[in-house]
Amino acid sequence: MIQRQGEAIVLRTWPFHEADLLVSLFTREQGRVKGVARHALRSRRRFGGALEPMTHVRASYAERPRQELVRLDAFEILSSPLARPIDYSRTAALQLVAEVLEEALPEQAPEDNIFRLALAVLDELQVGRIWLPITYFALWMNRLMGWMPELGHCVVCGLDLRGGTVWYSPIGDGVTCGDDRRNGSMALSAASVLEADRIFRGTVRGLAEEDWPKSRAADLRRFALETLERHLERRLASARALGRA
């Protein structure tokens, strides 16, 4: 048996057996792992509120040879989403981050860049200030997973699209000019393309100091989320909930 301790983010929990919980964790050192929190539904002594989704914890757990599930021994809360005010929009945004991480990351594949991205975004997700962190997270997840297309040139004819509107299809790679746009393509404005460049050059903390209402770069956020959904090959339930915010 191998004892481990390290930083992790709680992604999701499920009832398991009579009083146990199955927990999906995104760990800093091992990537995504699943484990069993014994008697978590009966006793809060070892875990307390540390099993709430998107809680940043220091996790102690044990790996057993030839077993998929680790044994979760104890969690120390480093930061909790419940430490700040919560409303419907912030809840949906937190669920979106958790759902994307759960679906995008393979098990036991360390992704330190994504771990640092998740922590930075979680720190900025506040009531009334969710739209920039979510846009930032979705765009950077596409880039770090290798799914982000180059926005400056038409993938069909090679035309330089910098400074103008580009077109993308929810079912095809790359962006195009207006002449080569595919059936069902949607526009991504020149202003939003510039916002994407700023996001890839800046920090979420610095950009979040600006005023980012829901309407700002809404087409960019839609593009980023639809790109994630296409590569994940599934609809994101949390994205639908966020759209109703």
- Provide, rounded to the nearest whole percent, the portion of the chain with pLDDT above 90: 83
Summarised one tens digit per residue, pLDDT across range 11-49 is 999 888 778 889 999 999 999 999 998 877 776 666 778
DSSP state of 107: B
Longest dimension (CA), the chain: 63
Q: In the chain, helix, strand, coil percent, each to 5? A: 35, 25, 40
Q: What value does the mean pLDDT take over residues 143-165?
A: 95
E strands of 1-138, at which residues? 2-16, 20-27, 31-37, 56-63, 70-79
Q: Which two tokens stand for residue 34?
A: 């699943």
Q: What angle do CA 132, 178, 134 make, to 5 degrees?
A: 10
- Sequence-distant (6+) residues with CB within 8 A of 101 are 9, 11, 26, 32, 114, 118
Q: Which domains does the chain have, with CATH numbers?
A: 2-83 (2.40.50.140), 88-243 (1.20.1440.120)
pLDDT digits (tens, 9 = 90+) for 73-85: 989 999 999 999 9
Read off the pTM: 0.94
Query: How crowded is residue 13: how many other Cβ atoms within 10 Å of its Cβ?
Result: 18
Radius of gyration, CA atoms only, the chain: 20
DSSP string, 119-141: HHHHHH-BTTB-HHHHHHHHHHH
HEC sequence for 216-245: CCHHHHHHHHHHHHHHHCCCCHHHHHHHCC
